[in-house]
């Protein structure tokens, strides 16, 4: 890999694409050249990178010649169509969609957990689901220490996980309600302002949603833990940014709050914020625009043997998407 790679961001004008560009700059990623790709309607739009204006170009199959790393965040159908083309052109794709996550040929990576899997790529590396990534930042260190058998979890997912249009929808609905106007909805099936929707992604015949099953399926692959089980309810909440997850985990070995805290304190990419007596615990308000996830509300689970409850919060546009993708690119450059 070129020490100063030519990097492309696909879906550059979307909520995650914008964060990818910012993250490349903030982390001083050694970008030799930056190419921004998006659909025809965004062509010519300029985005700032290192005090320069970079014009968006049209995503075409010929666009990947000479590009070393392409960070994709333009949705699953675009990834399916263009990622194999980019890989064929000699580019390494880091894909943020769900298109390739469960493909046995494609590594699914959270660098703090399974960075070594990056080396197994055949041109495409998958970025995990945002809720899964944020949960595993706290769960994996505990699994490593105590052996996690299963979890029961509920997510509290911000609207920016759906994209820029969902952020605008929440803003508009709050304004409509405050002004006593009728509420209009386009993105979600129900009003999201002052409401919660126990519905993220599409429903499966089991009654779970696709999003809910990602925790078990992707968790097994990332942690190299095929017996891992996860029963999850994913909920959309009227918060702009940062997902939270309430987790009850059952372990093979006995676990104490003190031992769990000691493990979590040392975990990379994670901050322990657990002082309930001082009203300090992780919240979206404080994890937004922050690279590290936060974990708190750590207590023994009173309904499980060797069980532990915790609450984790993280910026799903960053650790759940853009930051994780750039960290994978950093692993690629390390070689």
Catalytic residues, by residue number, are 130, 243
CA atoms within 13 A on the CB side of 205: 0
Q: Which of 255, 267, 295, 274 is nearest to 110 (CA)?
A: 267
Alpha helix (H) residue ranges in 152-241: 164-178, 210-223
Per-residue DSSP letters for 73-120?
Answer: -S-HHHHHHHHHHHHHTTPEEEE-SSSSTT-TTS-B--HHHHGGGGGG
Residue 248, token pair as written in the block: 């009850």
3-state secondary structure of 66: coil
Chain-centre distance for alpha carbon 70:
17
CA angle 54–60–61, rounded 5-degree value: 130
């Amino acid at each position: 890999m070129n020490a100063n790679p030519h990097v492309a961001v696909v879906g550059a004008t979307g909520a995650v694409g914008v964060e990818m560009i910012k993250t490349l700059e903030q982390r001083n990623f050694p970008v030799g050249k930056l190419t921004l790709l998006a659909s025809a309607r965004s062509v010519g739009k300029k985005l700032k990178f290192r005090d320069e204006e970079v014009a968006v170009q049209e995503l075409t199959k010929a666009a990947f010649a000479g590009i070393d790393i392409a960070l994709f965040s333009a949705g699953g159908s675009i990834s399916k169509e263009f990622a194999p083309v980019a890989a064929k052109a000699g580019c390494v794709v880091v894909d943020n969609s769900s298109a390739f996550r469960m493909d046995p040929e494609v590594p699914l990576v959270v660098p703090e957990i399974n960075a070594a899997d990056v080396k197994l790529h055949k041109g495409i590396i998958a970025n995990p689901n945002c809720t899964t990534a944020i949960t595993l930042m706290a769960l994996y260190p505990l699994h490593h220490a105590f052996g996690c058998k299963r979890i029961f979890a509920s997510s509290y997912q911000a609207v920016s996980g759906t994209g820029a249009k969902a952020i605008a929808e929440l803003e508009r609905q709050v304004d409509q309600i405050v002004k006593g106007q009728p509420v209009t909805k386009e993105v979600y099936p129900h009003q999201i302002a002052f409401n919660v929707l126990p519905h993220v992604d599409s429903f499966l015949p089991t009654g779970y949603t696709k999003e809910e099953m990602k925790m078990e399926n992707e968790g097994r692959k990332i942690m190299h833990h095929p017996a891992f089980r996860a029963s999850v309810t994913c909920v959309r909440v009227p918060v702009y940014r940062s997902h939270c997850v309430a987790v009850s985990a059952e372990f093979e070995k006995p676990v104490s709050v003190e031992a769990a805290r000691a493990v979590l304190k040392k975990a990379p990419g994670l901050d322990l914020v657990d002082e309930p007596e001082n009203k300090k615990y992780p919240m979206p308000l404080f994890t937004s625009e922050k690279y590290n996830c936060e974990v708190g509300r750590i207590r023994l689970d009173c309904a499980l043997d060797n069980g532990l409850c915790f609450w984790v919060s993280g910026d799903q546009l960053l650790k759940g998407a853009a930051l994780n993708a750039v960290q994978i690119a950093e692993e690629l450059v390390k070689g």
